[in-house]
Structures are given as structure tokens and as C-alpha cells.
């Protein structure tokens, strides 16, 4: 299996999440992106504990595309410091993996 990853990020607005998802798929940096939410995130930001309603994006991609995903997020993500985490996919169904490969650059 190629070095496939799942990239996660969050946004405050559903419209931002859908825009990011479309940009990733349009540029073939992600084969698909699920948008979940709203969810509640609790975190420390600038010395204060925050509780925010957000939308979670889960993008299926490939490890070698991560630097391009990171650059795109720097351009279009509305957050000053967006979450951007990639975890390896250790397995996938054979036909799904073939589809994934066909949809990425």
C-alpha cells in the first residue's frame, strides 16, 4: 500500500469546511473529504481555555502530497493557527485503495 494518510483539520464555519474540502478534491490533493459536525473543541489559546463549535474535516491523501496540502491550508484556511495533522493509513480495502490511487495526482 502506498503511503496513504488521513489529514484532519477543523474550521468554525460549515461554509469554510466545504470550501476547503472542495479545494482539496479539485486540486486532487485529496480523493475525498468528510465534513463532520458540528463538534465541540476545548483547547487553550493565548492563555485562555476556549470551547468552540467547529466542523471536522477528514481528507484521504498520500504522504508525498502533504507539503502541498500544508501550503494550500496556509493560503485558504481562515484560522491563524489551524490544526493540520496527518496520520498513516495502515490498511484499506483493495478496491477502495485502487480508487484512492486513481483520484490523487
Domains (range + CATH), the chain: 4-103 (3.30.70.120)
Instruction: Please report which helix (H) or strand (E) contains residue 50, including its range.
Output: strand 48-62
pLDDT recorded at residue 1: 55
Digits of tens for pLDDT over the chain (105 positions)? 569 999 999 999 999 999 999 999 999 999 999 999 999 999 999 999 999 999 999 999 999 999 999 999 999 999 999 999 999 999 999 999 999 999 999
Amino acid at each position: 500500500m502506498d503511503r496513504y494518510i488521513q489529514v484532519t483539520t477543523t474550521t468554525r464555519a460549515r461554509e469554510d469546511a466545504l470550501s476547503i474540502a472542495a479545494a482539496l478534491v479539485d486540486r486532487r490533493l485529496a480523493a475525498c473529504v468528510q465534513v463532520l459536525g458540528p463538534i465541540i473543541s476545548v483547547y487553550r489559546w493565548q492563555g485562555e481555555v476556549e470551547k468552540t463549535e467547529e466542523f471536522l474535516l477528514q481528507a484521504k491523501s498520500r504522504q508525498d502530497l502533504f507539503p502541498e496540502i500544508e501550503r494550500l491550508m496556509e493560503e485558504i484556511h481562515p484560522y491563524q493557527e489551524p490544526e493540520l495533522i496527518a496520520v498513516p493509513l495502515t490498511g484499506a480495502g483493495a478496491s477502495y485503495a485502487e480508487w484512492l490511487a486513481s483520484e490523487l495526482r
